Each structure stands twice: as structure tokens, then as C-alpha cells.
Structure 1
Amino acid sequence: MARAALALELWICFSLILFFHVRCFYLPGVAPQDFMKGDLLKVKVNKLTSTKTQLPYSYYSLPYCRPGHIVDSAENLGEVLRGDRIENSPYEFKMREPEMCKVLCHITLNAKTAKELKEKIDDEYRANLILDNLPLVVPIRRTDLDSSIVYQHGFHVGLRGQYAGSKEEKHFIHNHLAFKVKYHKDPVTELARIVGFEVKPYSIKHSYDGKWSDNKRLTTCDPHARKQVTNSEMPQEVEDKKEIVFTYDVDFEESDVKWASRWDTYLLMADDQIHWFSIVNSLMIVLFLSGMVAMIMMRTLYRDISKYNQLETQEEAQEETGWKLVHGDVFRPPVNSDLLCVYVGTGVQFFGMILVTMIFAALGFLSPSNRGGLMTAMLLLWVFMGLFAGYATVRLYKMFKGTEWKKITLKTAFTFPATVFAIFFVLNALIWGEKSSGAVPFGTMFALVILWFGISVPLVFVGAYVGFKKPAIEDPVKTNKIPRQIPEQAWYMNPVFSILIGGILPFGAVFIELFFILTSIWLHQFYYIFGFLFIVFIILIITCAEITIVLCYFQLCSEDYLWWWRSYLTSGSSALYLFLYAAFYFFTKLDIKKPVSGALYFGYMLIGSYAFFVLTGTIGFYACFWFTRLIYSSVKID
């Protein structure tokens, strides 16, 4: 006992050290910060992103102006996995003190840097900056609506086009940034809080007299003469041996928006009316169908149970048909029962992780302002939910008369994570080959392995030990020694057909919400309607349970008692439709041309579909498990 206590204490200490090492609880910028007039505001830079390649790069991978010493900001585990690389920058403002034509630096391109800039411009890369934890946005007026303005995350590195009647397309860099910082001022204390960070990028070929020096006055924009940069100036071309002068303006604007509402600009970027109407419409349809199915099932089952319990003579009992006939085989252990136990336990782990994550997100604990917080929370919850995975696996395994609980526990701890880790490792190697900042560093990869082996696996064993010590679940009816022959089934009761049909309704429950989730992930937008997502999740649970129960009932009525795996695969088949929709979304909504980017998309969507299969399959299995135990415990069996 003393050794066990010592081992547990060491394990807890090691876990805490690991958590603080990866900064799992680091919350960037969650508290408001007050600024006096003249206070120094430091702008940070984040990764370069592109919706065409999905490969992030470090901001300083391009020949941008650098500070004297580059300092990496503290990052949590989720930020590292997302590819965020937050660093300091030479952009410095003074609160409520405008600047005009501030010279940042002067560089001369060589062949290599010019080529890199052209590639990033062709791939439509955007530079992302951060001020007081607010991402930089570019306001764009929509052409279809006169008064509507949408906000684009980050500014494009440059643009490509023709200039001055030339038929040849050239590349131009955005080397002048007109910043606008919005602030909300306290009328009593004169303190102000930053509530907006916008920019308008320009491409300007700056000119000056004589040779360049650090204090050189530009002729294209002069703060003393109040001469501002405009679009009518000649743009800055990207070519070898071209000189580029980086400049910026800063303007401050008082706003009525309070600090607590400053993220509304970033969150309300989509067509909210369409979003809300589509979700409500989908939920109402699914709720109506679920209610109809539940009503039919309750009436049919009540009639069946009443009929079976009122049989009086032996002749009537011999003439009975339907699901009561297979009572001696319905709880017979299935083929590959070990694998079923493993997948059910993994599904319980997923269910717990998603449920707790959605509750915290809906309550506002995982807001978009906490970069990487959602991914960090999901990863940690997955690790700790291993306790329930081991418990669920071994409880089902013991019901199947299994005795080697340690072996089945190892399978639970390694089957799903090892598959996902293998795919993730290959994808990470592809990202590393592209020299992208999205590649997970070796230290973080090692931390993930330690989380897996050091915390998740032991917790799975703890849950399995507790589950194995409990008495086995007793079946409501006895199982015959000789299996009953299954009669020939109708074509519509074919396992493949019924399984594929069963996955349509659960997929329909999440279809519309899935579009917005994919858009937020692959088009780099914020997702924030976690309340509606939680409702969709509840509807998904109800739909998976009901469609599985209905098809299981039809199967048992056809005297086919092999329901164990079919109940799992019926609702789990919705993952197939999810992956097919992901492929449809790729070819219709995304403009990805590079093979590596396509491999990343389909690789990550394969992981997501696999996880969705495990989740929905487990929900359907437990619904069918509860249903069969309920109906067979409700009838008289001689």
C-alpha cells in the first residue's frame, strides 16, 4: 500500500509538472487593460495564413521589418497545435497619439526573397497582427449591400495585377499600413480600453532624395506637410534588387462599443439570419421526425408486449412470431466481441469529452479570445475521460464472460489513439517538409506522447480495474446453448442496406451546422454559436438512439438476433456521409491546388470522421442495448 501511494503521488506530481510545462492553463489577455494617453502599445505578429494552401508560416519567414530581438510569446498547447507563432514586432503606438507616414524600415530584395514574396502573393497569404489580444481585421464594403461591411482577418501580403497599361501581370507588396485603433474611454478617469484594431493596406513605391538613411524624409508621404498615402500613387513592385520602404499610419477613434462587446465584430462575420434560420429549421424537422418515431414505437411495443403476455395455451405460444422467438439468442456474445468492447469504451471517452467541452463553451469559458483554449480543453478532457473508457469497456467485456481484463484495457488505451497518432504523424511530416510553422515541434510531440502514456493509459487502467471489480451485468433472459437458425431476410433488411439507411438521419441532424464548422476551420473564421451547437448535439443523440432502436426492432421482428455490431454500425454509418460531404465541400467551396494541402485536408477530415463514427456508433449501441434489455425483461418467458 505504501508503494502504491508513493507511486500515485509521484504520478500526480509528474502530471502537474507536465501541465505547467505545456502551459495548458495559460489564458492570454482575458482581463481588460486600461491605457492612459501616451501609453505605449506594442503590436504582436502571428502566423501567415492562406485558405488556398492551409499551411501557416512564421511572419518573419518573409522579409518584413524585424525588431532588434525577436521574442516568442508564451503559447498554450492548443496554440502550438494550431500553428500559432506569436512574436513581438517593431510596430509601436502611443495611445491616442496619431502618427502619419511613420517609417518602419528599408530593405532591398534579392532573388530569393522576391521569389518567396511572389509565391505568398500568388497563394493569397494574409499577415496577422495582434493588439491587446485583438486580431487585426480589414473592413471591406460589400458590393451587394450598400451599408454592409464585412471584416477580413489579416491583410493580404500583396496583390497581383496589371499596372499603367502593361499587359503583363506583376506582383505588388502592401508596404504601407493605415491602422485605426478604436478605444472606449471612461468619462470619469480618462482611462481607455482598446475595442477595435483595423487596417487598410496600400502598395506604395516610396521615393526620397539622395541616398537612404534612417532619418530620411520621404517625398511620397510627409507627416510635416500632412501628405498622406493614397491609391493614386505608384505601387511597389516585387522584383530582385528592388528597394522597399515600409511605413504606417496610426489613427485613434473613440467608440461606443464597450470592452465586453469588442469581440462582436469578429464573431458576426457571417450571414447570421441565414445561419440561425437554417439551424432552427433543421432542428424542428428532426424533432418532429423523432417525435413521430417515438410515438409509433411506443404504441407498437405496447401492443406486442400485451399480446405476448396474454398467450394462454401452448398452441398459441408455438404459433407466436416476432422478436419474442429469439429470446434465447438475443444476448449471445457477438463475433469479435473484444473489438466491440474497445470501440464502445472509446466512444464513451469521446462522448464525455464532447459533452463537457460543449457545456464549458456554451457557458463562455472557451471563448475565441482565448486562442487555443478550445483545443487544449478537448485534449485534456480526452485524457481524463480515459477513466470512463476503461470502466465502460471492462463492464461490457465482463458481461461477455471475458476474463483477461488487462489485455482488453490495453487495446482500449491504444487502438484509437495509435491510429490517430499515426495519421497525425504522417501529416505533420508533410507539413514539416513544406517548412511550415504548422508543424508540431518535437518537444510538443513528446509532451503529447507523455500525456498519452503517462496519464491517459493509467487512467484507463484505473477505470477498468473499478469496472472489473463490480459484479457482471446479468441478462434478463437465458441464452440457449445451440444458436437458432436465422431465416432468410427481405432485401430491405440486408445488413449493408439497413446500416447505410440508418446513418442518413443522424447526418441530417448535423448537416447544416457542419457547413459552418468546416467554414470556420478551413476558411479561418471564428465559430461562436456553442449554444446552438449544444442543442444540435442533443438532437444528434436523440436521432442516433431512435433510428437505431427502430431498425433494431425491425431486425428482431424478422428473427435476426445479430444486433450487437449492427446497432453500432447503424448510427455510426453517419460518419461515411460526413466524409463524403467533406469531399463535396472540398471541391465546391475550397480553392486548394497543392497536393500536400489536399492531403492535409482529407487526412484531418478522415480523423474527424473516424471520431464521429466512434461517437455516434456508441450512442446507437447503448440505446439499442437499453431497448433490448427493456423489452425482453417486460415479457413472460417460459
Structure 2
Amino acid sequence: MSFQSRSIFFLFFSLFISSTFASESDHKYQRDDPVNLWVNKVGPYNNPQETYNYYSLPFCHPSSTSAAAHKWGGLGEVLGGNELIDSQIEIKFLRNVEKTVFCQMVLDDAKVKQFKHAIENNYWFEFFMDDLPLWGYVGELHPDKHSDNGKHVLYTHKNIIVKYNNDQIIHVNLTQDVPKPLEAGKHLDLTYSVKWVPTNITFGRRFDVYLDYPFFEHQIHWFSIFNSFMMVIFLTGLVSMILMRTLRNDYAKYAREDDDLESLERDVSEESGWKLVHGDVFRPPRYLVIISAVVGTGAQLALLVLLVILLAIIGMLYIGRGAIVTTFIVCYALTSFISGYVSGGMYSRNGGKSWIKSMILTASLFPFMCFGIGFALNTIAIFYGSLAAIPFGTMVVVFVIWAFISFPLALLGTVVGRNWSGAPNNPCRVKTIPRPIPEKKWYLTPSVVSLMGGLLPFGSIFIEMYFVFTSFWNYKVNFSTMTSFNYEVPFICWFCHNSYSCLYQEK
């Protein structure tokens, strides 16, 4: 491999893996070292996927926003719709800042209209300091006797409390006050203050606050969960055992090649059910290429979910922005061999001949479906100017991952599956002439049977998993919806529309 090839490979490898398994720096500061406060996005609370650039609202800035530094993360962070811009607010390590004006804003009719729209829709914002997030509301709506719509107020002061341990930042806490009414022609001074507080919490445990659970009393019903899983396993095993004991002799009888088919048909003339069509049960399906591709993709996705869950348990993917998305993309590309292997084996066992079509469809079915849906959603996001819009360069990177990693592995898996697991192993022989099957009534058609047959299992599993997930994660912070912007208060403050200073209580 040439030096240029090695350089390109290392560049792509570091781009995909850095946000998951590495940190940008050691996060260590000396006294009076500058600490950047990054502004990220803003959007309505009730629709957390609708996010915009922080400066899409007419917030003032210490200097020109075009000259402000941007911080670009890994692939997952870009796909997650993050765009970090330096707020240019002067913050220095271990240097307290009293109430200080960082910029002045003059309100006009257009700005007032924008801020009122944001307040009425409960717009929240997100900041980052030393990779620690801070959340808050843009403003709130106060009751007003003289107005049916209430009074719109904008928070103009941000109080930042930073906890540190030696030379590292551990916690960052944001509170807001000094609400000012929105009136055209009014001058507003946007202020901030910073207070540094020592703590004994180590740097390695600074993200434990997101998983802290003493705020709510919760009880995980371990007995119910264990009982449900054991019941499912027991019933599955019991049904499987009964079926295998019942079908073993039938399989052996139908698989014997020395029996005359006519005598065999006479023996089963009094039978019913699947035995009447045992010679057609394992006949290749009509759309073999599509079915093989779907089965192979399903096997890959099942392995992908299991692998990401294991990586999340072993590592700490919740720390890095976009780390889980990056892990999903990388793991999907690396597990494409499984989809090709399963699809190729199934296609070969059923006597498929169109190998090129099967390989291409298996490798491109799920990615192109995602690309199509993503393209439609991306067009809408671009039209509305949302941060959820994926940049063209990121789309090219994702396509390159698929074209040079996922696609070749899927093709290789198809070839290996065809040669290693492509021998037919059907328990019953397939007759040359298909048996005519009479038309079924409407309630026995495959669509109705699939719907009604899956309705009850889906309902029971959905209810059970709802209680399981509620027991496990109901009290945790949801990083995707930003359900808390204050680390030291009960998370319920996020749902309070009054001044949240009344809820600011230390544990």
C-alpha cells in the first residue's frame, strides 16, 4: 500500500472512529486559560427534531457571526444536526465574573415577532462548555390582565456555575433570570456571570449526573420482568418441542426416496392441513430475490442492534455527541457480510439463478431505502432551514462508506453463503408438478392472516416492553429530547412554564 493510500485510509478511519473512541483533548486547563462557550441550536420543545441554528433567532453577538469559530465534530454529530459556534463570551478558567454585559440588542418589530413566536412555541436552546451541555428556555409567557395572549418576556441574564476538580471541569450549570418584556424600539442588555465552585467528583465520573436516579422514587419490577421473559422462553420451548415431536416422523416419511409417490399420496389422503401440500411447502417462492434480500437484511439489522447495545454497555457512547450514530454507521458497514451470507445461502438453497441481481439487491435494498427517505426529509429540512438538513459533503462520506465498505462485504458474503450454506436441506421432497390449491375465503388470505395473527402478539409484547422501558429509563435524562437543562434540580423542572428559579433546589 502506497503512502498516499495509507494516508487516505487513516483519514477516513479517524473520521469515523474518533468521535466514538477518542477525545479531542485532555480537557485540562491552567488558571486564566480561555474556556469556550459554544452555542449549538434552538427549537420548539414539543418537536425536538425541529432544530435551527442558534442565531436564526435575532440574538445579538459580541462580534460578527461570520467571523466566529465553528466546531465540527465527527460523522454522527453532523448527522445529528449539531453546529457549534463560538459565542465569543469571555470565560477564563477559575476566574469569577460578576454580572457583565456581553452585547446590546435593539428590538424592532421583526425581532419582536420572531421572539414572540419562539416563546409561544416553548423554544429551548443548547450550549456546550468543555463538551458538557447546557439547556434553557428562550423566554416565557407571563399572564397579563390587559392582554388575552399574555406578556412575552425574554431572559436577558445567564448565570453559569462551573464545578471543577483541580485543572478539569466537572459540572456546568445554567440558570436564567432578569426577564424583560418584548417591546419594539427597546434596548436590551444581555448579561452573564460565571462562578467557579470546587468539587471532589473525579473527571471520569462527571457524566454520572445524567444517570443519577435519586430524584425520583422508582422501583424496577424485577420479578415481573423475569417472570415475563421466562414465560416467553418456556412457551416457545414447549411449542417447539411439541411441533418437533409431531413432525419428526412425518418429515422422515416424506423424505424417503424409495417410496412410491402414489402410495404416499394414498397414505395421506385422509390427512389435512399442510400434509396435503407437503410436496409444495418448500417450493421456491415467486419473488425469491426480494425475499432473500429482505431476510439477509433482517439478519444484519438484528446483529447490528445487538452489537451496538453491547458496545454501549461496554463503553460510554452517551458521552460523545453523535457517538451512537457513528457507531451504527460503522457497525452497519462492517456487518454487511452477514446480510450477503444469509441472503446468498437462502437464494442458493432454493435454486436461484440470477446471482448478480440477488447480490446487488441485497447490498442496496436497505441503504437505498434509507437514502430515499432521507432525501425527502432532507429536502424538507433544507426548505425550512433546519439544522437537521444533512450537508452534501456528509452525504458523500456516507455514500463512500457504503460503496467501498458495505457493498463489497455484502457481495463477498453472498459468494461465501452460496458456497458454504447453499446446499438444499429441505425435510420434504418437492414435487415436480405443483398441486392446485383452491381459492381461499377473504379472511384466510395472507394479508388478513398476517394482520390478525400478529395483532395479539404485538399488543402483548408492546404492553410488556412499555412497562419494562418505563421501569428502566423513565427517570433518566433523554439526550435526544433534552428533557433537562439543570443538572442539580429535579428533571420535572423542564416541564414547568413558570419561572424555574422557584424549582432551583440543591439536592
TM norm. shorter chain > 0.5 = yes
* 1:45 matched to 2:43: no
Q: Partner letter of residue 51 of structure 2? A: P
Contact 1:67-1:88 within 8 A present in 2 as well: no
- Return the offset for 1:419: 2.1
Pick closer, same or farther for the CA change 1:32–1:266 going to 2, 3 Å: farther
Corresponding residue for 1:135?
133
Q: What does the per-residue CA deviation read over 1:585-606, in whole Å, with 9 as the maximum and x for residues that have no partner?
A: xxxxx9xxxxxxxxxxxxxxxx
Q: Secondary structure at the match of 2:162?
A: strand
Matched, 1:252 2:196: yes
Q: 1:422 to 1:321 in 2, by over 3 A?
A: closer
- The amino acid across from 1:87 in the alignment is I
CA distance in 1, matches of 2:229, 2:239: 15
C-alpha distance in 1 between matches for 2:429 and 2:4: 47
Match of 2:434 among 483, 491, 507: 483
**Cα deviations across residues 105-128 of structure 1 (Å, max 9, x unaligned)?**
112123333322222222211121
User: Amino acid of the residue matched to residue 281 of structure 1?
Assistant: S
Query: In structure 2, the residue corresponding to 1:102 is in which secondary structure?
Result: strand
| Bigger shift: residues 93-102 or 352-361 | 93-102
The AA in structure 2 aligned to 1:524 is M
**In structure 1, distance between residues paired with 2:145 and 2:226:** 55
* Structure 2 Cα separation of the partners of residues 356 and 443 of structure 1: 28
Q: Retained in 2: the 8 A contact 1:178–1:249? A: yes
TM-score, normalising length from structure 2?
Answer: 0.79
1:474 is displaced (CA, Å) by: 1.9
CA distance in 2 between counterparts of 1:25 and 1:122 reads: 39
Given the alignment of the two structures, is residue 409 of structure 1 paired with residue 359 of structure 2, yes or no? yes
Q: Which runs of 5+ in 2 are unaligned?
A: 255-262, 485-494, 496-507
> In structure 1, which of residues 422, 426, 439 is the aligned counterpart of residue 372 of structure 2?
422
Contact 1:65 1:104 in 2 (8 A): no
Q: Amino acid of the residue matched to residue 258 of structure 1?
A: T
- Change in CA separation of 1:472 and 1:309 when aligned onto 2, cut-off 3 Å: closer
How far, CA to CA, are the matches of 1:128 and 1:112 in structure 2?
A: 23
C-alpha separation in 1, matches of 2:4 and 2:368: 26
Relative to structure 1, the CA distance from residue 167 to residue 348 in structure 2 (aligned partners, 3 Å threshold; closer, same or farther) is closer
Aligned AA (1:298): M
CA distance 1:504–1:318, change in 2 (3 Å):
closer
Question: Over residues 184-242 of structure 1, what are the superposed CA-to-partner deviations in whole Å (9 max), with x where a residue is unaligned?
Answer: x4xxxxx2432211122013xxxxxxxxxxxxxxxxxxxxxxxxxxxxxxx41223222
- The alignment yields a C-alpha RMSD, in angstroms, of 3.7
Q: How far off its partner does 1:317 sit?
A: 6.5
Q: Is the 8 A contact 1:331 1:479 kept in 2?
A: yes
Displacement of 1:395 in angstroms is 1.6
Kept in 2, the 8 Å contact 1:81–1:438? The answer is yes
Aligned residues: 464
Q: Counterpart of 1:62?
A: 57
Correspondence for 2:183: 239
**What TM-score results when the alignment is normalised by the length of structure 1?**
0.64
Q: Distance in 2 between matches of 1:301 and 1:241?
A: 82
Paired residues of 1:286 and 1:509 also in contact (CA < 8 A)? no
Equivalent residues in 2 for 1:69-84, closer than 5 Å:
69-84=67-82
- Which aligned pairs between 1:238-637 and structure 2 lie closer than 5 A? 238-268=182-212, 274=218, 276-277=220-221, 281-282=224-225, 284-299=227-242, 301-303=244-246, 305=248, 319=270, 323=274, 326-366=277-317, 368-470=318-420, 472-476=422-426, 477-486=428-437, 495-500=446-451, 501-502=453-454, 504-505=456-457, 508-509=460-461, 511-512=465-466, 520=478, 523-525=481-483
CA distance in 2, matches of 1:470, 1:178: 65
Aligned to 1:201: 176
**Paired letter, 1:292:** L
CA contact (8 A) 2:338 2:413 kept: yes
Aligned in 2, Cα 1:298/1:420: closer, same or farther, shift over 3 Å?
same
CA contact (8 A) 1:44 1:130 kept: yes
Equivalent residue for 1:625? none
Question: What secondary structure does 2:18 align onto?
Answer: coil
Q: Structure 1 residues 16 and 406, CA, compared in 2 at 3 Å: closer, same or farther?
A: farther
**1:178 maps to which of 135, 149, 159:** 159
SS at match of 2:368: helix
Structure 1 residue identity aligned to 2:106: T
Using the alignment, how far apart are the partners of 2:142 and 2:108 within structure 1? 21
Mapping for residues 69-218 of structure 1, pairs under 5 Å: 69-136=67-134, 154-162=135-143, 169-183=150-164, 185=165, 191-203=166-178
Give the equivalent residue in structure 1 for 2:489: none
Percent identity (aligned): 27
C-alpha spacing 1:82/1:514, structure 2 compared with 1 (3 Å):
farther
Contact 2:68 2:88 (8 Å CA) reproduced: no
**CA contact under 8 A between 2:106 and 2:188: conserved in structure 1?**
yes
Greater relative contact order, per chain length (Cα 8 Å cut-off, separation 6+): 2
